[in-house]
Amino acid sequence: MKKMYAFIVLCLPLFISAQTDYTVTFKVSTANITVGANGIYAGGGVLGDAQAVQLDDSDGNGVWTGTATVTGSGGGNFIFLNSPSNGGDWGTKESLGGLPCSDPNNYDDRIFPSFTQDTTLMFCFGTCVNDTVCPTPLAPVNVTFQSDRRHSPAFTNAYLSGTFPSAWSGDAYPMTDDDGDSIYTVVMSITPGDYRYKFTADNWALQENFVTANMSDTSCVNTNSAGNTDRFITIGTNDTVLPVACWEQCGPCSNIGLKESDLIFKAYPNPVEDILIVENPISDRIEVSVFNALGQSVLNVSSQDPLLQLNLSDLPSGLYYAKMSSGTMESFITLTKY
């Protein structure tokens, strides 16, 4: 009996060192969201489907809790979901796109930490805060997206898709063309932050595929480590109307196929350092609007001068878009500011 006891004692460290699975307690605050009827779940990645781990808020304090047995060696992903209706309801997952705690290679899900014992992980839903005390949420702003579809393949219904609350859903954000000019728009109420997106159609039957070698301007797109090239935008605290974007291009496409000499309104020099000259060959008043690379209006001028001079000296160096219009006539140019 003593020999058997000694054997067990000697082997005990081996048993302990071999343990890799631990109980993880998830605690997530929902102070900044409205929880749906089905409650909060943790799922995805190493946990399983969208309803892998059901969380509970029995005391009604807004902090939902649940446990799972997870390998503590690190690696893998997971995400919290608000009221998924079934195991495949990924449209209810929290939106972390562009945040440092998300994994762009794995659907912008959270990354599991490493641990060597039973542990408790605390979060605030939809944020990178590792605590159940949520920060005061930023007020959402209205952002108008505009997609010129005249040069896209044929489609039936236009959509915007991206790292918004419904997370790359193919039909969550329909775009409309009320005046029939092939420029589709949608106004989104978005919390300030970083987002990735692209224009799509017919529930992913058609989507923008950016071939940067064919783009004269690539400032609106970038490629993540997973090899996905998308549009990206940083939303500030003001309502924003983004400039019209041509299909699979950063700037407008009204001038595609036109030589500079064929444009109705002309602007030069380009690149420009201080003074931009706009030629107005018509007698009517023209509107000139200059937008920065984020789509924010930085200058608006209305004039009938045949040679209009715009002072851009106060603008920082970078890429800009200028829209010159009068009635149904318009010209777009991409400007480089020294």
What single string gives the DSSP state of each residue in 248-286?
Answer: TSSS--TTTT--GGG-SSEEE-SSBSSEEEEE--SSS-E
With a CB cutoff of 8 Å and minimum separation 6, the contacts of 219 are 250, 293, 319
For the chain, the straight-line distance linking the first and the last C-alpha, in angstroms and rounded, comes to 87
Alpha carbon distance 291, 243 (integer Å): 7
Q: What is the pLDDT of residues 164-207, one digit of tens each?
A: 876 688 888 999 999 888 889 999 999 888 889 999 999 999 99
**Ordered domains of the chain (ranges, CATH):** 20-124 (2.60.40), 141-246 (2.60.40.10), 260-337 (2.60.40.3080)
Global confidence as pTM = 0.56
- The pLDDT value recorded for residue 136 is 87
Checking DSSP bridges between strand 21-29 and strand 119-124, what pairing results, if any? parallel
Q: What is the pLDDT of residues 9-40, one digit of tens each?
A: 454 454 444 567 899 999 999 999 999 999 99
Specify whether the CB–CB gap between 338 and 316 falls below 8 A.
no
Q: What is the pLDDT of residues 280-335, one digit of tens each?
A: 888 788 999 888 766 678 899 999 999 999 999 999 988 788 888 887 677 777 78
Alpha carbon distance 332, 260 (integer Å): 10
Q: Can you read off the two tokens belonging to residue 241?
A: 């109307």
Alpha carbon distance 251, 293 (integer Å): 9
Helix, strand, coil % in the chain, rounded to nearest 5? 10, 40, 50
CB count in 10 Å sphere of residue 307: 9
Q: What is the pLDDT of residues 135-170, one digit of tens each?
A: 888 889 999 999 999 888 999 999 999 988 766 888
